[in-house]
Structure 1
């Protein structure tokens, strides 16, 4: 398969926009933008986020014992772009503050998920950071989504009616 075909296909899959941060023992902050973020397990509570092994932040996250996933809200596109850029001080804007477990977080993110590193799994040219969720914080803000190389927000659809839920053998939506 051609890499371009795979890239085009995956661009069609909407993904959350996150900024993942950590702090090392010396107090140095690291962070990156990721759209590959998902829940893994409820018991224990686990999430995953993927990081390119060639990324400048990879060594910091591979050595980290904890990290914070900031799920960006609508209107935070500039933050996503800043943390995706290389060769700059991603924290210079001063918009990240100490949040859960003292990790750099965005107070206005629609969600923050504080994790301890559960596993680091090599997968092709990326590493999968599996985090055990220690704390979670949410705000009533629409999330930022990335699809087709553009930022967007999810558009709510109507709830299914009771008859459809019953036909699907669901008791709640």
Structure 2
């Protein structure tokens, strides 16, 4: 008979080991964008993106508790999840940087609610900021998809610490 423990067992690994194990799972790369009340655009790179439900259409992503952009994403009603295409590793790096204006030189259009949709992405999802769940050192955002589009461009993939196009060779 299997008994359930009320708590997780004591870990036998450190954060670096855990991160290395997670890096073995290939993920797509997204840039989450929104617009601040003063009209300033904000965007960040995130690989923590998943579907949650088809009906209603829900997706999730997560953001570190210490991220300077946390107030903007918790306070805004909408955001756009941009799924980068295989030739957009430079955008993943640009939106992951500490650069003040990450939109410098980036071509985009605006969603129906006025948030940036990056040009050339494989897909995008305009989301209502439905709910947030604090867990560990991150907040999980659940967005209800109001509009979405996709192309047949191959996605950018991140695996073992590097960007890979679908061919499996480093970008």
The residue that corresponds to 1:10 in the other structure is: 22
| Contact 2:106/2:118, CA 8 A, preserved across alignment | no
Q: Which stretches of structure 1, 4 residues or longer, exceed 4 Å deviation after superposition?
A: none
Residue-by-residue CA offset, 1:112-166 (whole Å, 9 max, x unaligned): 000001101111111111000001100110000100011112359xxxxxxxxxx
Match of 1:135 among 140, 147, 159: 147
The residue that corresponds to 2:8 in the other structure is: none
Shift of 1:97: 2.5
Name the count of aligned residue pairs: 156
Q: Equivalents in 1 of 2:119, 2:17: separation in Å? A: 38
| Contact 2:26/2:158, CA 8 A, preserved across alignment | yes
SS where residue 102 of structure 1 aligns?
Answer: coil
- The answer on 1:56 being equivalent to 2:73 is no
Task: Give the 5 Å matches for 1:4-83.
Answer: 4-83=16-95
Which consecutive unaligned segments of at least 5 residues does structure 1 have?
157-173
Q: Equivalents in 1 of 2:40, 2:59: separation in Å? A: 24
TM-score, normalised to structure 2's length? 0.87
The residue that corresponds to 1:99 in the other structure is: 111
SS where residue 18 of structure 2 aligns?
Answer: helix
Q: Equivalents in 2 of 1:99, 1:107: separation in Å? A: 12
Which consecutive unaligned segments of at least 5 residues does structure 2 have?
1-12
Shift of 1:100: 4.3
TM-score, normalised to structure 1's length? 0.86
| Contact 1:114/1:134, CA 8 A, preserved across alignment | yes
Match of 1:126 among 138, 144, 151: 138
Q: Equivalents in 1 of 2:105, 2:55: separation in Å? A: 37
The residue that corresponds to 1:89 in the other structure is: 101
Q: Equivalents in 2 of 1:107, 1:89: separation in Å? A: 17
The residue that corresponds to 1:150 in the other structure is: 162
Residue-by-residue CA offset, 1:45-64 (whole Å, 9 max, x unaligned): 10001111111111110111
SS where residue 59 of structure 1 aligns?
Answer: helix
Moved more, 127-136 or 96-105: 96-105
**Cα-Cα RMSD:** 1.4
